[in-house]
Chains A and B, each alone.
Chain A
Amino acid sequence: MTAAILLEAALKTGAVLAFLLGLAGPLTWAERRQSAMIQDRLGPVMANVGPLRFWGLLHVMADALKMLWKEDFVPPKADKLLHALAPMIAMFPALVTFAVVPFGDTVCSGQLWEVVPKSGTCAEGIEMQIAPLNVGILWLFAIAGTGVVGAALAGYSSNNKYSLLGGLRAASQMVSYEVTMGLAIVGCLMVYGTVELPEMVRWQDAHVWGIVAQPLAFILFFTAAVAETKRVPFDLPEGESEIVGGYFTEYSGMKFGMFFTGEFIEVIVASAVLTTLFWGGWNLPFLCRDGVHLPEWAGGWHLALEHFWVTLIQIGAFIGKTVAMCWFQLMVRWTVPRFRYDQLMRLGWRYLLPVSLLNIVITGIVMLAWT
């Protein structure tokens, strides 16, 4: 039994890691090509193997090769240990946060090829989630918050003024936006009545998607999530026009690559969390556990699907939504210019924070009035 559980956990972890790392690479490509599309350019399209170019996707590999072959430079007076540790600390939380994100409904292992009943869940089944923790979303905040430690350590250990400034900026920005992030979620928690992510998704399946129930929280959470990933318009920690490269000024080769990949993994994780909280997770409209049901006004058409296919479609839907959110984040990244530091702080403390409190109050009043 334990062996089976271990195997199951290992398989799920492997799948999720493959998904995260496998998507982070193409995201670097997407970032370049997408920005090119936005700016009337072509972007990188030249890397090729023979005549094959795959619209520039091979640049991802070229990039990885380049990083592996570059000199791994450590400043002479840097703190060697922390300098080497920082990229790992930065990348680790990004990967681990995904552990609580459910990417599919519980699979009834025994009934894969049967049509399961329309409602209910499987008591004995495989959770499509690496760690079905009962603290759920709290784990997410706890781990995501440590991500900044990597940036701060990198800034501290590099023995470089600019790095230090970048690290400090990262730390203070994270503190400011973590508050908004947490408060934005409170509204959702009140509506969903649970902190467990799969339960939240099931609530959205039964009622409406979170984007309808909590539109304000979505905007707030999205903003805070972008700030957490330290990307434009919240990329002050690296702010290359002001402080060279921020906290990773003194990093090269694959260590820089880890910061870089970590950033994109954070984008994916943020998208996955947004999908789970606001876009109904693995749900698709009209898709139930026993197949497709069109509502009465559309003819009440019904197509029975085996459990296996339903699960596959749901996981596909989750991945699709996540990719769409990634795309949207890249869109925002290439639309909004970087904030000035005072604007950043003002936005965080003077606008987002009160608005998120207001959201809680409004949610509470509406819920009271409703029941």
Chain B
Amino acid sequence: MAYKVIRPPESAVQSLYVPAVVDGLGITMRKFFRNAFGRRKDTATLEYVGTPETTMPYPLRHRGLHRLTQREDGSPRCVACLCCSTACPAQCIFIEPGEYPEDDPRHGWERYPVRFVIDEMRCIFCGYCVEACPCDAIRMDSGLHAPPVVKRSDLIFEKERLLSMPGRDGKHLHKNPRPDPPDPESYSLHDGARPPLVDRGASGRDGAGT
């Protein structure tokens, strides 16, 4: 059976196409003159200035490659709480938590990741890990997308690599307001008393002002 296509009726003027074409020409000419000679161009693409590295910056809220933020001394802000790896729907975060050494003021206060591995190839860039992190240790604001690689293993990022990536502003610092243990302010959480967490031994523990 033939199928009758029902089309809206066209008036004679419409089917002459002239008015529509003139309208369209108006639009294309406006675009053309603006982009060719105008001061403010609408051009949405970028000129490669010699290298393919010239790219349009991603929008600020773009979820890109992960990075681990650092404390002022360069150590990872991560406390190895495993929240992110628990939240991760792709199960692509592997964390091996460890204790700080005995003489470290953070010993007994919090843990640190001995290994922190993200498989960027398996990640679905959902951003749940960032949401889950209680101390702004993991972020996705590097502004980079996963690079093309030859081997799959090249996209498995270890802690060192994650730590080395700066944010958009080129900085590594976190924005977590909670002070670190050597800082006396951190005691204020406990009414000015030293945290009664652990027996710290005799020396070096009140190293205020580091």
Contact = CB atoms under 8 A, between A and B. Distances in A.
Contact of B35 (A40, A331, A332): A40
B27 to A, nearest CB: 8
Contacts, number: 50
B25 interface: yes
Contact of B32 (A34, A336, A346): A34
Interface of B: 12, 15-18, 21, 24-25, 27-29, 31-32, 35-36, 42-48
Contacts of B47: 42, 45
19 contacts: A36-B35, A37-B31, A37-B36, A38-B32, A38-B35, A39-B31, A40-B43, A40-B45, A41-B44, A41-B45, A42-B43, A42-B46, A46-B48, A332-B25, A334-B28, A335-B28, A336-B24, A347-B15, A351-B15
A331 B36 contact: no
Contacts of B42: 40
Contacts of A335: 21, 24-25, 27-28
A334 B27 CA distance: 11
A236 to B, nearest CB: 15
Interface of A: 34, 36-42, 45-46, 219, 331-332, 334-336, 343, 346-347, 351
Nearest to A42: B45
Contact of B16 (A34, A38, A332, A351): A351
B16 A40 contact: no
A40 B44 contact: yes
A331 B24 CA distance: 10
A37 B28 CA distance: 9
Contacts of B45: 40-42
Nearest to B42: A40
A76 B172 CA distance: 64
B131 to A, nearest CB: 35
Given A36-B35, A37-B32, 10 more contacts: A37-B35, A38-B28, A38-B35, A40-B31, A40-B42, A40-B43, A41-B43, A346-B15, A351-B15, A351-B16
